[in-house]
């Protein structure tokens, strides 16, 4: 099996490549990554000798066509992924998430290979805090931000290419991931590395917003289940029943790091801030037999905190610029 993994130097993609090399020695992996601020080649160091790395963009039609022609399956992680950035400067989100996905689809169509498109639960918009409902595969799309609207658009392109051109593709929409190699702009690594730097965590608004946390390894095991057994043309939601509000997450991080639970600052809210995400992963569990291995957020967080404490050389180079950008936004 020859896999082309786009965005494989990012958070989820690099964990996916490491897991694949570890657990599936028969797979041959090529990574295509543009190495934006969010991509980090060193995230692939543990498997550098076992993979091929190509530096380039999914929006480069010629390059994409050549690489897709040399593989059996494309797994598309490449994206601009951060909501706050999409509010400050939407253009790269349109280029990568929409145009880039379109280029991949055309190459996949040309070479008749299989594609899996990695997407997000944010395409469904948000739920009220007290709503008993969760997102399912049938929930209508209602994205809120430039990020989530470009991800929604990319999903719709994949669906159109499946219906109109018979593309052999699947889509997954996952909830919030945490784990090693996540950029320090994101909520959990930002707060962990703040505390490790002697700085208080920063909570947007009231901290009541709820996210449905899943460990990145559980997400990636679900992706392999979809690649192995998923039905072509189908969408699978991925989530591990990990709902927690932001205050609870910050207090857990503080507890794990031995700080008082009120040692954080409230900062101004994100415009259009989605209230709550929650995934019903029933289809994935019953149809593909997937179950998460990380049973609770607290133990998963403890190992993640330990990873950041042990890998300062990985995150420290990005920390200063990230915090400078946040302070310009007043966050
Ligand atoms: P990330 O920002 O950490 O990584 C994105 C990677 O894509 C980086 O390595 C970057 O260099 C690369 N990239 C960006 N533009 C590119 C381009 N034009 N061509 C090639 N490579 C490019 O993101 P992530 O958190 O790992 O997310 C990966 C995917 O999973 C995204 O599609 C995202 O929408 C989706 N997703 C993320 C989460 C989450 O919680 N992080 C949850 C659900 C779905
Ligand atoms: O739901 C899946 C999505 O999860 C993915 O599609 C996105 O790529 C990923 O970035 C994530 O989006 P969020 O916007 O939910 O993640 P973020 O880490 O930016 O923020 C999580 C929550 O924490 C959100 O309610 C905003 C809040 N927050 C964030 C930061 C960076 C804070 O309170 N303080 C912060 O400093």
> What are the tens digits of pLDDT across the range 20-39?
999 999 999 999 999 999 99
- Residue ID of nearest Cα to ligand 2 atom 7: 81
Query: In terms of pTM, does the model score above 0.75?
Result: yes
Measured from the Cα of 205, ligand 2's closest atom is 33
Structural fold of domain 2-178+213-238? Rossmann fold (3.40.50)
Measured from the Cα of 82, ligand 2's closest atom is 10
Q: Report how far ligand 2's centroid is from the alpha carbon of 216 (Å).
A: 15
Ligand nearest to the CA of 6: 1
Q: Report how far ligand 2's centroid is from the alpha carbon of 186 (Å).
A: 6
Tell me if residue 93 falls in helix, strand or coil: helix
- Residue ID of nearest Cα to ligand 1 atom 37: 120
Residue numbers annotated as active site: 121-122, 147
Residues of the chain short of pLDDT 50, as ranges, are none
Q: What is the pLDDT of residue 241?
A: 96
CB 234 within 8 A of CB 123: no
What residues have CB less than 8 Å from 45, skipping those under 6 apart? Answer: none
Q: What is the pLDDT of residue 295?
A: 81
Measured from the Cα of 58, ligand 1's closest atom is 19
Can you give the residue ranges of every domain in the chain?
2-178+213-238
Residues forming beta bridges with residue 4, ordered by sequence position = 30, 74
Q: Report how far ligand 2's centroid is from the alpha carbon of 329 (Å).
A: 15
Measured from the Cα of 209, ligand 2's closest atom is 25
Q: Is the dihedral of CA 293, 297, 302, 304 positive or negative?
A: positive
Residue 220: burial class (beta carbons within 10 Å; 0-12, 13-18, 19+): buried
Q: What is the pLDDT of residue 54?
A: 99
Locate all alpha helices (DSSP H) within the chain, ordered by sequence: 11-23, 61-69, 83-88, 91-93, 101-111, 146-165, 187-196, 216-229, 246-256, 282-288, 297-310, 312-328
User: Ligand 1 pocket: which residues have CB below 6 Å?
Assistant: 6-7, 9-13, 32-36, 38-39, 57-59, 77-81, 96, 100, 118-120, 151, 174, 176-177, 183
**Mutate which of 34, 41, 51, 81 to test ligand 1's pocket (most atoms within 8 Å of Cβ)?**
81
User: Ligand 2 pocket: which residues have CB below 6 Å?
Assistant: 81-83, 120-122, 175-176, 186-187, 190, 202-204, 209, 211, 246, 270, 277
Ligand nearest to the CA of 143: 2
Query: b vs e for 153-188, b when ≥16 Cβ sit within 10 Å of the residue's Cβ?
Result: bbbebbbebbeeeebebbbbbbbbbbbbbbbbbbbb
Q: What is the pLDDT of residue 327?
A: 95
Q: Report how far ligand 2's centroid is from the alpha carbon of 55 (Å).
A: 27
Q: What is the pLDDT of residue 299?
A: 87
Q: What is the pLDDT of residue 80?
A: 98
- Residue ID of nearest Cα to ligand 1 atom 28: 77
Measured from the Cα of 176, ligand 1's closest atom is 40
């Amino acid at each position: 099996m020859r896999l082309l993994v786009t965005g494989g130097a990012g958070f989820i993609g690099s964990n996916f490549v490491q897991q694949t090399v570890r657990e599936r020695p028969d797979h041959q992996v090529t990574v295509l990554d543009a190495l934006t601020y969010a991509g980090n080649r060193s995230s692939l160091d543990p498997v550098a000798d076992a993979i091929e790395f190509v530096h380039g963009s999914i929006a480069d039609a010629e390059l994409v066509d050549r690489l897709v022609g040399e593989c059996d399956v494309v797994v598309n992680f490449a994206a601009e992924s951060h909501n706050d950035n999409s509010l400050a400067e939407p253009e790269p989100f349109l280029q990568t998430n929409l145009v880039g996905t379109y280029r991949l689809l055309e190459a996949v169509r040309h070479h008749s290979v299989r594609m899996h498109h990695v997407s997000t639960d944010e395409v469904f918009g948000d739920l009220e805090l007290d709503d008993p409902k969760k997102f399912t595969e049938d929930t209508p799309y209602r994205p809120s931000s430039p990020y989530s609207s470009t991800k929604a658009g990319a999903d719709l392109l994949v669906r159109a290419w499946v219906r109109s051109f018979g593309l052999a593709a699947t889509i997954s929409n996952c909830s919030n991931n945490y784990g090693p190699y996540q950029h320090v702009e994101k909520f959990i690594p930002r707060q962990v590395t703040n505390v490790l730097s002697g700085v208080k965590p920063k909570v947007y608004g009231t901290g009541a917003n709820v996210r449905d946390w899943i460990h990145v390894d559980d997400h990636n095991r679900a992706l392999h289940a979809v690649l192995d057994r998923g039905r072509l043309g189908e969408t699978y939601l991925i989530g591990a029943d990990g709902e927690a509000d932001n205050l609870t997450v910050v207090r857990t991080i503080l507890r794990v790091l031995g700080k008082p639970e009120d040692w954080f600052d409230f900062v101004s809210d994100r415009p259009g801030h989605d209230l709550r995400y929650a995934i019903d992963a029933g289809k994935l569990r019953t149809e593909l037999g997937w179950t998460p291995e990380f049973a609770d957020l607290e133990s998963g967080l403890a190992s993640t905190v330990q990873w950041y404490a042990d890998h300062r050389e990985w995150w420290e180079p990005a920390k200063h610029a990230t915090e400078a950008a946040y302070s310009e936004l007043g966050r």
